[in-house]
Amino acid sequence: MKAYYINLDRAPERRAHMEQALQGVDHERVAAIDGRLQPPTGQGLTRFEIACLESHREAWRRFLATPDAYACFLEDDVHFSPDFAGFVAQDNWIPANADAVKLDSYFNRVMLGAPAPAPLGRKLALLYTRHESCATYILSRRGAAIFLRLTENPTLPVDYIVFPEDPVGQKLRLYQLTPAVAIQDQLYLRHYARGLRFESDISKLDAPKPESGKRGALFTLKREAVRLYRQIFKAKRYLVNRLARGLKPEIVPFQ
């Protein structure tokens, strides 16, 4: 399958890193939309989050313009296991009902279904909870079409939509490869003391701020209500996964 990596024009060092890392892999660069050149959104997402999401959408559209059954999507700050190329060289290991397969790990606790054998001694399991980041993942044609529809009017960053809090509840079939074969640079530095110390391209400086007075109070009240709802939802989902499904929290390793 082809790998599409998303890269800003003003980040040539990341482009050089990805071109070297993807040697031997059929790949294509997708010029990322630059959040610095976009006006503040005035919405719940920053202009950088919108730019990131639209860049992923462009990569998905390129994939759907081909006859390919699957494609791999990458951000430009990832490091790969030596086994990575083997997983994009063929697609017969991907479950027929998969919308997405996550190939990286963010090291947050997740809940996975019963593991099935995957190539090169790894396992593949259904993902029942959110797993942060859209750094390295595979989409089927059905998955790409679904996520294009779900991101038409976004209120959340792209990784919250592709890997949401309750994938099964949203009728998404998302799988996790474990151990993972990709990891972002910041995590590589933190957990393995290795990496390239790429400077972040995302800024929160234009995040929406509450106004003063009555409108500010309403903003704060709405924000806290949403936060409380999410906490209740998350607790309920945890109990269902833990007690009804017998799942246990775990961290997906990188190897």
228 closest CA partner among 218, 238, 240, 220: 220
Edge-to-edge strands, sheet with 123-126? 27-31, 2-7, 70-75, 136-140, 100-102, 174-178, 123-126, 116-117
Q: What is the pLDDT of residue 219?
A: 46
Give the β-pairing of 182-184 and 100-102: unpaired
Is the pLDDT at 161 greater than 70? The verdict is yes
Q: What is the pLDDT of residue 19?
A: 98
Do 53 and 158 contact (CB within 8 A), yes or no? yes
Q: Provide the H-helix boundaries in the chain.
A: 12-21, 47-64, 84-88, 141-150, 158-162, 185-192, 213-239
Give residue-wise pLDDT tens across range 195-223. Answer: 888 876 554 445 444 455 555 566 456 55
Q: What is the pLDDT of residue 38?
A: 82
Going by C-beta distance under 8 Å and a sequence separation of 6 or more, which residues neighbour residue 67?
A: none
Task: Give 158: exposed, middle or buried? Use CB within 10 Å, 0-12, 13-18, 19+.
Answer: buried
d(CA 132, CA 143): 18
d(CA 161, CA 154): 8
Tell me the whole-structure pTM to 2 decimals.
0.87
Q: Which two tokens stand for residue 162?
A: 């592709």
Average pLDDT over residues 137-153: 97
Q: Which two tokens stand for residue 198?
A: 């790429």
87 closest CA partner among 31, 130, 24: 24
Q: What is the pLDDT of residue 152?
A: 95
Q: What is the pLDDT of residue 132?
A: 95
Q: What is the pLDDT of residue 227?
A: 61
Going by C-beta distance under 8 Å and a sequence separation of 6 or more, which residues neighbour residue 205?
A: none
Q: What is the pLDDT of residue 205?
A: 46
Please count the other Cβ atoms lying within 10 Å of the Cβ belonging to residue 60. 24
Comparing 234 with 7, which gets the higher pLDDT? 7
Mean pLDDT computed over every residue of the chain: 89
Band the pLDDT of 76: cuts 50, 70, 90.
very high
31 closest CA partner among 62, 2, 1: 62
